[in-house]
Structure 1
Amino acid sequence: MTKTVVHVTTLEQWKSVLDVWFKQGYGWSTENKEYSERLFKNGGRFLFLDDCITYSRTKPNSKPFIEYSEFMAQQKEDNKMETYYVTQEQLDLIKELKEKLYPLHVLLTRSNRYENIEVGLNNQEEKALLRYLGGDTSIKFKVKEQLYRLSRIDEGGDAVYMKFSYGTPGWDMDKDAAFTAPLEEIEKWQTPAWSLEKVD
């Protein structure tokens, strides 16, 4: 079920909504976090947030949408606390660091122990981490939901991954094009031929 549908009328609004969702750890179905301005320029005016971000050129029938101004008003209310999504390993290391008397000093001088914290963090998330370790109480870290994909070995010995094209399951050799979903959803599509694997 779609969580949110936002109607935008300008490219700036499009980017602003995407910024909010990227910051929350969401991306397009291809998992990239680009503005994809061409989608807006080609008529995309409705942004959908579910397990990933999608868009539409036409007014959605399935769920009422909210206007950009209402969406931003909700964000101001929610933005009292900044939330960043990390892996479980990263969260454990962040909590461990936070308990240290001088967490920034420990991070800088014993970096081998904590080098996995930085893996996958963008510039904004790294700055938030430093602010958090420095005592900023408006920042919190949560574990992002683990995504999975289905794979199998074809007759040629190559790995292929399940994907969907217009609602029909198929396969692709590119794992980045694979259908990804939380465990509960992906298990609905698993058969003995397909193996479950975590998405990095």
Structure 2
Amino acid sequence: MTETVVHVTTLDQWKSVLDVWFAQGYEWLSYKGYREDYFRNGSRQLRLNPINKITYSGSNLYSEDDCIEYADFMAQQEKTMANETYYVTREQLDLINTIYEKLYSLDELVNCHTEAKNPFDDFSIPKGNALLRYLGGDTSVEFKVKEQLYRLWRIDDDGDRVYMKFTKHGTPDWTMDEDNAFTAPREEIEKHKTPAWEIEEVD
């Protein structure tokens, strides 16, 4: 994957770019949410780096030639994604398809909430009504399975389980927090594996 840097000028544009990337299954390198504080502190450049993680340029270091303007980025998205595509787990996609095939799909959806574990608890969709629109027959909405991601782990000298991560400068490091670990498709993970590290699937 090549690097993408998007230049934005407003907070709404900042959130719209993140909505696109979140819906495609990408996440921040070390954070969660929209991180409006980065924008308020002056950042106007959002970056999807070659290891499939979202970062930002606090000092707006990328030149005009290295950035894509917000309007051009969104136009590209419209071309490559004629539909609204949302990435979900295999379990969620199977459930969506099962519900969709029922005569009274909305009743089926409501009944899912009576289960001990609601399978939609972690259902992250920027526009909350996308699932309802899909079940109602809106053909502009589609769901796809997220690509399986992996991470690297090892046992350190103290007997603790640690995970490989990358700093914001791209330097390899380690963390005890699995949520901050470097995650990527298996092909990319294999490039970073050494005998010290084991590969595992990300839930």
C-alpha deviation, 1:195, in angstroms: 1.5
Choose which of 182, 186, 196 in structure 1 pairs with 2:185.
182
Tell me, which stretches of 5 or more residues in structure 2 are unaligned? Answer: none
Give identity over the alignment, percent.
60
Distance 1:116 1:3 in 2: 36
1:26 is aligned to 2:21: no
Residue 172 of structure 1 aligns with an amino acid whose one-letter code is T
Equivalent positions of 1:120-199 (< 5 A) are 120-122=122-124, 124=126, 127-165=129-167, 166-199=169-202
1:107/1:114 contact within 8 Å kept:
no
Per mean C-alpha deviation after superposition, the further-off stretch among 43-52 and 84-93 is 43-52
Per mean C-alpha deviation after superposition, the further-off stretch among 89-98 and 116-125 is 116-125
Query: 2:129 aligns to what SS in structure 1?
Result: helix
145 and 156 in structure 1: CA distance in 2 versus 1, 3 angstrom threshold: same
Residue 87 of structure 2 aligns with an amino acid whose one-letter code is Y
Per mean C-alpha deviation after superposition, the further-off stretch among 174-183 and 99-108 is 99-108
1:2/1:48 contact within 8 Å kept:
no
C-alpha deviation, 1:31, in angstroms: 5.6
1:10 is aligned to 2:13: no
1:7/1:67 contact within 8 Å kept:
yes
C-alpha deviation, 1:150, in angstroms: 0.7
Residue 130 of structure 1 aligns with an amino acid whose one-letter code is L
Residue 194 of structure 2 aligns with an amino acid whose one-letter code is T
Distance 1:53 1:9 in 2: 18
1:149/1:181 contact within 8 Å kept:
yes
19 and 10 in structure 1: CA distance in 2 versus 1, 3 angstrom threshold: same
- Find the counterpart in structure 2 of residue 37 from structure 1: 36
C-alpha deviation, 1:38, in angstroms: 2.7
Residue 160 of structure 2 aligns with an amino acid whose one-letter code is D
TM-score relative to the length of structure 2? 0.81
Post-superposition Cα deviations, 1:134-184, rounded to whole Å, max 9, x if no partner, equal 222111001111211111122322111112234432322121221111111
Query: 1:156 aligns to what SS in structure 2?
Result: coil
- Find the counterpart in structure 2 of residue 53 from structure 1: 54
Query: 1:83 aligns to what SS in structure 2?
Result: strand
TM-score relative to the length of structure 1? 0.82
Per mean C-alpha deviation after superposition, the further-off stretch among 154-163 and 119-128 is 119-128
C-alpha deviation, 1:123, in angstroms: 6.2
The root-mean-square deviation of aligned C-alpha atoms, in Å, is 2.8
Per mean C-alpha deviation after superposition, the further-off stretch among 83-92 and 123-132 is 123-132
113 and 156 in structure 1: CA distance in 2 versus 1, 3 angstrom threshold: same
